[in-house]
Amino acid sequence: MLENCVAHKSVKCLRNSAGSPVSLMSSLQRVIMKSRLPPMCPNPRFPKPSDRGFRRQTDYNPLMWDEFFAEKKDVETKQGKFRVYLSGPTEPGAPLLVLLHGGGFSALSWAHFSSEVTKLIHCQCLAFDIRGHGDTYTEEEDDLSAERLATDVGNVMHVMYGESAPPIILMGHSMGGAICVHAANMFVLPSLIGVVVIDVVEGTALEALASMQSFLRSRPTTFKSIQHAIEWCVRSGQVRNVESARVSMPGQIINIETKQLATNELPLKADSATEEKLEFKHPNAIAEDAESGENASSSGNEDAAITPPATPTGTTSVNLRKYAWRIDLSKSEKYWEGWFSGLSQKFLDIHVPKLLLLAGIDNLDRALTVGQMQGKFQLQVLARCGHAVHEDRPHEVAEVLATYLIRNRFAQPTTDGQFLRHMPAC
């Protein structure tokens, strides 16, 4: 009755210029009638992302290093062989960005960042696998003390450039950031002009050490394929950028049988890549937003697909235990405190311009908070990213670094280097 009255009044009171009544449905009537309509029948051929059965297929096949770097080489020092990745040459006088990865990562974690930053400014990127990581093999590989790792940086640069090294910007993430600070305080790089540290602060780092062993034990110890290792990397949150994980994760695992880094098996054979793709086509197999507990394949759940059973037997056990971590970080525990103790003051004592890039403002400790208020270093915070800031948001990190280098007149923008200038901010 209410609907009829509303409609009747609406028609009765509205007339056109000729005086004839005009039938106009009121907004209230439209809402009421719309609510009475039956729901639209979904088209099964085009499911919506919100549908429970909808699962986006993600490509977890690995990417090659040469899509991001122009050259790779092995640098021989007195301590051993260090794997180095270089971007293309640049104009004379341009700075060299020496990139140090975090613990357990590899030089390939800088792949996307290197590709992005060289588009914005004139510079060359050099990333190398730290002792005990990636394709670097040295004497005393278990010696991961801060002094040893900082000395390695100086040795690699000396072998490559001698006394004619270009201006160097030392940039590191997590453990690599701590090594940057130690190297700068030890003056192992005479041509150092700047230091950039990504998401490492003394206070929070030391607090996190108490739970580090528990975190390491929670990770799967083996993977049945490179694709499954990349899948775990993304779904566990270690790296939130799938494209970055596809190039960086193969540098963190080795083939258990051959003891070779997984990058040495790339590109994958066509049949291997096709086999994995077919496995992932199951709608509940690998879902970017799948709930825990859903089946990962027809033979078991997602944990079984990544982490092998406790007592595997037969041929299946070989397949499930094909790859393992390149480095056992739990064995380096005795060096952890040495990486981070006194780090904040050492960072403030560096006499070249400094940039601290964090994933959250709450990570600052007291010494750095006071130092930042005194203008002793530039602080930039990027939200909506995890600990691997340069992998999760490589373009934004490249913009921050480009702004820092141009602001200090260390580099010049490229001809097409139009980008968002990030001013120091929290």
Annotated catalytic residues are: 174, 199, 387
Strands 354-358 and 192-198: parallel
* 305: Cβ contacts below 8 Å, ≥ 6 apart: 224, 228, 285, 296, 297
Closest Cα to residue 148, out of 76, 80, 216, 75?
80
Q: What whole-number distance in Å separates Cα of residue 360 and Cα of residue 364?
A: 8
Q: Give the pairing of strands 80-86 and 124-128.
A: antiparallel
Structure tokens at 299: 């033979």
Counting every residue written for the chain, the total comes to 426
CA distance linking residue 286 with residue 227, whole number of Å: 11
Tokens representing 46 are 């085009």
Closest CA to 264 of 45, 9, 64: 64
Place of tokens 């990027």: 382
Phi-psi region of 300 (alpha: psi -120 to 50; beta: other; left: phi over 0): left
